[in-house]
Amino acid sequence: MGELSSFLKKKKRSFPIGLSGKTGMGYILTGGISPLSRSRGLAIDQMMEIKGFWGNGREFHLLRPTTKNDSTFEWKALCGAAIFLGVITKVRLKTQPLRQLLSWTANLSFSQLSECINQAESWPESLSFQWIYGEDIFAHAIGEIKNTDNESGLLNLLERLPFSRNRKINKFNDLNSLPNLSLGNNKSNNSNHSEVLGLLGPAWQENNTKVLKVLKDLINKRPNKSCYIASQQLGGLTQINNLDTSFIHRDAVWKPWINGAWEAYDQSKKTITLEWMKECWNDLEFICPGVHLAQIHPHLDWHEKELSSAFKDWLPKLQEIKSIYDPSNVMPPLN
Ligand SMILES: Cc1cc2nc3c(=O)[nH]c(=O)nc-3n(C[C@H](O)[C@H](O)[C@H](O)COP(=O)(O)OP(=O)(O)OC[C@H]3O[C@@H](n4cnc5c(N)ncnc54)[C@H](O)[C@@H]3O)c2cc1C
């Protein structure tokens, strides 16, 4: 995605890549939630054409339907669930004008995180809020500058955000140049292994204090210092579903993800961390009923649950499509 972003920058165009330039095609195929998704939609919403081979070996080439009535189950399935069905060899994507970005980063206290989330829930679509909570709390707000008026409006909103230290407000030329959403004192530890589970849910609103308390309890009992919970903000255009896709949680406003880490090759610590992740999921499910299958876990006992939370009522039809196009389960399983 970083290479795509850099290539498009030269043409003064952009694509809503995610929080890291390091991800590949899987970012697009699994939905693709960008800090700009609130104003640009998901990565799958930019898909105009898709080519590849179903799991059964047959080639396919589909064009984006022009109306809802023209849409097919195959198109819907490939937009968000392609990784279960076939190998994608080519996509044609819609690009957008390149605009400068406003970036606000800061360390927050627990109560400041609560206040920031509250404020972000009433922001315009051109601004989004991301946070990571582990040893410390770090947040990153990203806004797209459309014109001078809009820039001062965004700046006003950013200046209202509370922070405890290290607040920086900067301008960047593209998504790939933005600072990482990471905890400075929690740099990726190569001697750790990890799993990630992405959840999806509505705005917290009056549940804000309750959710934050749940988060604090979970973070306090995390089994490894590299475990954390982070979140991206959706809403706005992300919720517009002009064509059916397999990303069914269009009403989601937050995508919290749980990062569970343990010392590599230590099976007992791995079990403890996976139990902690399940506890996080269970405790947050009241506010995050959905799952974003950016990471899949066919090797874990929660695979069936993550499939049903990701696709809900659409899952049986998706399984039927898989039984036609990938009957031998060449691709990852959908049950
Ligand atoms: C640092 C980091 C930041 C991230 N930020 C975001 C973010 O902001 N928003 C977001 O939505 N997600 C984000 N993710 C999640 C990421 O988008 C998913 O993990 C995604 O699946 C990664 O795809 P990949 O191609 O890089 O990885 P891979 O592990 O290579 O692929 C992931 C899955 O996609 C399948 N796949 C890949 N290419 C194809 C293909 N051509 N045809 C069929 N199947 C294929 C693979 O088989 C695998 O199952 C982030 C992940 C990381 C590590």
pLDDT tens column, 70-92: 899 999 999 999 999 999 999 99
Residue corresponding to tokens 């927050």: 108
Neighbour-count burial for 99-109, b at 16+ CB within 10 Å, e otherwise:
bebbbbbbbbe
| CA of 296 relative to ligand 1 center, distance in Å | 10
31 lines ligand 1 (CB under 6 A): yes
Burial class (CB in 10 A: 0-12, 13-18, 19+), 27: buried
Rg (CA), the chain: 20
Distance, CA of 128 to CA of 233 (rounded, Å): 6
**pTM of structure:** 0.96
How is domain 2-97 classified at the CATH fold level? 3.30.465
Contact 213, 73 (CB under 8 A): no
182 lines ligand 1 (CB under 6 A): no
> Per-residue pLDDT tens for 103-148?
999 999 999 999 999 999 999 999 999 999 999 999 999 999 998 8
Structure confidence at residue 229 (pLDDT)? 98
Q: What is the DSSP letter of 16?
A: -
Three-state secondary structure call for residue 22: coil
Q: How confident is the model at residue 188 (pLDDT cuts 50, 70, 90)?
A: low
Three-state secondary structure call for residue 82: helix
Is the pLDDT at 33 greater than 80, yes or no? yes
Distance, CA of 128 to CA of 39 (rounded, Å): 9
| CA of 243 relative to ligand 1 center, distance in Å | 23
Contact 310, 80 (CB under 8 A): no
Who contacts 333 (Cβ-Cβ below 8 Å, separation ≥6)? 84, 298, 303
The angle at the Cα of 187, spanning 185 to 193, to the nearest 5 degrees, equals 130
Q: Where are the domains of the chain?
A: 2-97, 99-327
> 99-327 is classed in which CATH architecture?
3-Layer(aba) Sandwich (3.40)
Q: Which atom of ligand 1 is nearest to the CA of 17?
A: 8
Is the pLDDT at 185 greater than 60, yes or no? no
132 lines ligand 1 (CB under 6 A): no
> Per-residue pLDDT tens for 283-307?
999 999 999 999 999 999 999 999 9
Q: Select from 22, 25, 255, 299 the residue to mutate for testing ligand 1; criterion: most ligand atoms less than 8 Å from CB.
A: 25
Contact 297, 226 (CB under 8 A): no
The Cα-based distances of 19 to 105, 181, 232, 261, 307 in angstroms read: 14, 7, 9, 20, 24
88 lines ligand 1 (CB under 6 A): yes
Three-state secondary structure call for residue 221: coil
87 lines ligand 1 (CB under 6 A): yes
Is the pLDDT at 186 greater than 90, yes or no? no
The angle at the Cα of 80, spanning 123 to 97, to the nearest 5 degrees, equals 50
